[in-house]
Amino acid sequence: MNLASRLLVITGLGVAAAGAGVWATGATWEDISHLGQPRNVLEIEGQEIRVPQAQSSGARLAPAVAASTSGDHAFLFEEDGEPTRYDPCVALAWVHNPEGMPAGAQGLVERAVADIEVYTGLVFDFEGETSELASFDRPLIQDRYGERFAPIVIGWSDEQETADLAGSTAGLGGSSSVTGAYGDQRFLAAGVVILDREDLADLLEEPGGLERAESIIRHELAHVVGLGHVDDPTELMHTENMAAASWGPGDRYALAVAGAGPCQ
């Protein structure tokens, strides 16, 4: 069975970064240092919420990865020919909801995250388990996580709970595109990975299934950091992901570029 033939990406869900700004009480030093430049806001369910500021020194947390290969690649969002990416100067917080996770899959998730770190040069920060259900309908800012964009969430579901997992789809992944606190530069935020617990449990029972299951998780995490599907079946980001179990040259190029974005 083709477990990943309909890997879908849902992005920018119901929220658009507004170009307008507000000046509110409780201004911080970061606000003062941008005096005269309006703070961007998000419109969420009719309410304006100030875009959270990036808490960083303005320097990369890890060295950039050289984009030394070439091949078929694509990005989910592009602005003026440049992909929209996560801020490499801020650790990418992530949480895991293990409810329904197949036995033996915890290590697959951890290895997949570590692999994405290696090939992007982005730093991921595991903040523990969460009770939040992995869903593309999640609010971008939630009280449970404080005054910031929600961390990347990885969780497990099935086609009864998540309709887009129907048929041979084994996973879903993506992030939202938002502006930073100031200016027009767009960044990725609040990523989501939803894994089909039944499909991956079946796969783990098959010969070679461990490697294939991990490749599905890596594929979805690559969507989270901004990669799109490609037509070349030798690349892991191929639409149906039937043959490749490791990154192809186009994948490696795109992952390096995805990790080489600007700081906020």
For the stretch 116-168, pLDDT in tens is 999 999 999 999 999 999 999 999 999 999 989 999 999 999 999 999 999 88
User: Quick check: is 8 in a domain?
Assistant: no
Pairwise CA distance, residues 234 & 232, whole Å: 5
Could you give the number of structural domains in the chain? 1
Residue-level pLDDT at 33: 56
Confidence of residue 243 (pLDDT cuts 50, 70, 90): low
Q: Could you list the residue range(s) of the whole structural domain that residue 151 is in?
A: 17-258
CB-based burial, 223-262: b 16+ in 10 Å, e otherwise: bbbbbbbbebeebbbbbebeebeebbbbbbbbbbbbbbbe
Q: Is the pLDDT of residue 257 over 50?
A: yes
Task: For residues 26-37, give the mean pLDDT.
Answer: 55
Pairwise CA distance, residues 70 & 169, whole Å: 28
CB-based burial, 6-45: b 16+ in 10 Å, e otherwise: bbebbbeeebebbeebeeeeeeeeebeebeeeebbbbeee
| Percentage above 70 pLDDT, the chain | 84
User: Quick check: is 190 in a domain?
Assistant: yes
Task: For residues 40-68, give the mean pLDDT.
Answer: 84
User: Quick check: is 139 in a domain?
Assistant: yes
* pLDDT, tens digit (0-9, with 9 covering 90-100), for 57-70: 789 999 999 999 99
Instruction: Lowest mean pLDDT of 50-64, 76-90, 113-127, name the range.
Output: 50-64
Pairwise CA distance, residues 213 & 4, whole Å: 10
Task: For residues 79-83, give the mean pLDDT.
Answer: 90
User: Quick check: is 177 in a domain?
Assistant: yes
Residue-level pLDDT at 21: 28
User: Quick check: is 11 in a domain?
Assistant: no
Give the CA angle between residues 221, 242, 121 to the nearest 5°: 25
Residue-level pLDDT at 179: 86
Mean of pLDDT over the chain: 85
Record the tokens describing residue 46, joined without a space: 């009719």
| Number of other residues whose CB lies within 10 A of the CB of residue 159 | 14
CATH of the domain at 106: 3.40.390.10
Look at strands 82-83 and 78-79 and give their pairing: antiparallel
Q: Is the pLDDT of residue 55 over 50?
A: yes
User: Quick check: is 12 in a domain?
Assistant: no
Phi/psi region, residue 128 (left: phi>0; alpha: psi -120 to 50; beta: rest), is left
Residue-level pLDDT at 35: 57
Residue-level pLDDT at 48: 81
Instruction: Lowest mean pLDDT of 2-11, 124-133, 218-227, name the range.
Output: 2-11
Pairwise CA distance, residues 160 & 164, whole Å: 9
Q: Are 87 and 74 in contact (CB under 8 A)?
A: no
pTM attached to this predicted model: 0.85
Task: For residues 179-206, give the mean pLDDT.
Answer: 92
| Percentage above 90 pLDDT, the chain | 68
Residue-level pLDDT at 2: 31
